[in-house]
Amino acid sequence: MIRFWKSSGTRFRLHQGYGGQAVPAPSAPLWSPDDPVGGFLDLLPENHSIIRNLAISPSRAKYAANRHRRRAIPACRPSPIDADPPRRLTFPPICAKNRAVNVAGKHYRTIWLESPGCVRIIDQARLPHEFAFLDLRTTADMCAAIRDMNLRGAGLIGCAAAWGLYLSACLHAGQPDWHARLQTDSDALLATRPTARNLEWALHRMQRALAACATPGDRLETARAEAQAITDEDAEFSRRMGQHGVALLREIAARNNGQPVNVLTHCNAGWLAFVDHGTALAPVYAAHDAGLPVHVWVDETRPRNQGASLTAWELGHHGVPHTLIPDNAGGHLMQHGMVDIVLVGCDRCTAAGDVANKIGTYLKALAARDNGVPFYAILPSSTLDWSIRDGVKEIVIEQRGADEVTHVPGWNEAAGKPATVRICPAGTPAANYGFDVTPARLVTGLITERGIAPATREGLLALYPERHADG
């Protein structure tokens, strides 16, 4: 069911605890103005004015002489407070006063439990021209939403898979063949998007949580609690990645003598791709909200144009200055000193630091290396695949339908409605590889919820020492 947004807000009762387990109240406040990184809540302004897009003149090239030289990063920048998952997560799905607004004066998450047996998502297939909701009531509904990209993005796909198994529990928890039905639904969800690691990770976590449940009521409550915990964790980890990444933007801003920090990003790795905050855009939002001058070069990101349709929409609603560019313009901008840093998301990262992301990311990394521009991938630990060493050889690259290449969706101004047009001769064959792999040697660093590390196995193990046992 499609439901359009309305002006009235809704408040939700918070689910307390982590992983469905009740925990005692903390002995210290959840947030302290003296410890904005360590606290769980960011007290941000209630409203942000919409700022006109900022275009950077080519004359900015004169500032590029020495600012864009590649700098070595420390062996690791872990944050001690991030060593363990939070004990209490407090992120309501919608209209939270402690969070910055992100759509029309309100705060939204991308996915939430609307009512028992009903998961609501923002229908991203209708953006940027329409802002609408989609209600999902079965695992088949969730599979279709993931496959048809009503929802997309590594983190959000993982959370959606978790809620998909919750919907499975709603329908089958009381049946004698419960475990078999759960496995069937899990397999169906896994088949929707093979490249995204988060999806696989979330399904395994849900299955482990449900394995010991003996009664239908226990199965249903465990499925709900674990899906909610995964969702809250995604939002919190994204917030932490933003706090780690904003330190890099502060360093650049200090050298820029008042000029905006120019960030180049590819595809959409903002809050629409996760539950909240996002990955690649999380430091941008943190910088903007802190008053740092920041400007984003937004790759259109063919063939589905997630940059043009989603990233530009996000940034515009948050008031972040940005400029939409053709995919092939990034190298030119770097040559002329108009890019300070490249920030991208990640759908799967190997134990050696190879990064799989939207097709075209590899070319941006090559251009960044040639021009001395730092290139960072931002990802939560759920995106790390410790079983893979060589990303180019081992990561399965999703191939999508040819019509995404041969046809372009848009808005028919004359008719006042969405339209899709063919941009090539009828019958033209097309290949549509959804992702490519950027080798670790081209990645300046990896930003996770635990800190910043070099794109190496040693760097990742410094952040995640518990993974030494993986070999």
What positions carry a catalytic annotation? Answer: 347
Give the H/E segment covering residue 135: strand 132-136
Give the H/E segment covering residue 119: strand 118-122
Question: DSSP strand E in 137-249: where?
Answer: none
Query: How far apart, in whole angstroms, are the C-alpha atoms of residue 331 and residue 17?
Result: 47
Contact 200/396 with Cβ under 8 angstroms?
no
Give the CA angle between residues 68, 71, 76 to the nearest 5°: 140
Question: Which phi and psi (to 5°) does residue 226 adopt?
Answer: -70, -40
Cβ partners under 8 Å of residue 304, min gap 6: 149, 404
Question: DSSP strand E in 145-293: where?
Answer: 261-265
Residue length of the chain = 471
Cβ partners under 8 Å of residue 170, min gap 6: 116, 117, 220, 223
Nearest CA to 458 among 392, 445, 436, 81?
445
Nearest CA to 128 among 317, 326, 270, 269?
317
Query: How far apart, in whole angstroms, are the C-alpha atoms of residue 236 and residue 67?
Result: 32
What is the identity of the amino acid at 237? F
Q: Is the dihedral of CA 127, 129, 132, 135 positive or negative?
A: negative
Give the CA angle between residues 312, 266, 416 to the nearest 5°: 35
Nearest CA to 171 among 226, 220, 229?
220
Among left, alpha and beta (phi > 0; psi -120 to 50; other), residue 464 is: beta
Contact 357/435 with Cβ under 8 angstroms?
yes
- Relative to beta strand 261-265, strand 341-344 is parallel
Contact 427/407 with Cβ under 8 angstroms?
no
Among left, alpha and beta (phi > 0; psi -120 to 50; other), residue 95 is: left
Query: How far apart, in whole angstroms, are the C-alpha atoms of residue 124 and residue 145?
Result: 10
Q: How many CB atoms lie within 10 A of CB 11?
A: 11
Query: How far apart, in whole angstroms, are the C-alpha atoms of residue 261 and residue 292?
Result: 8
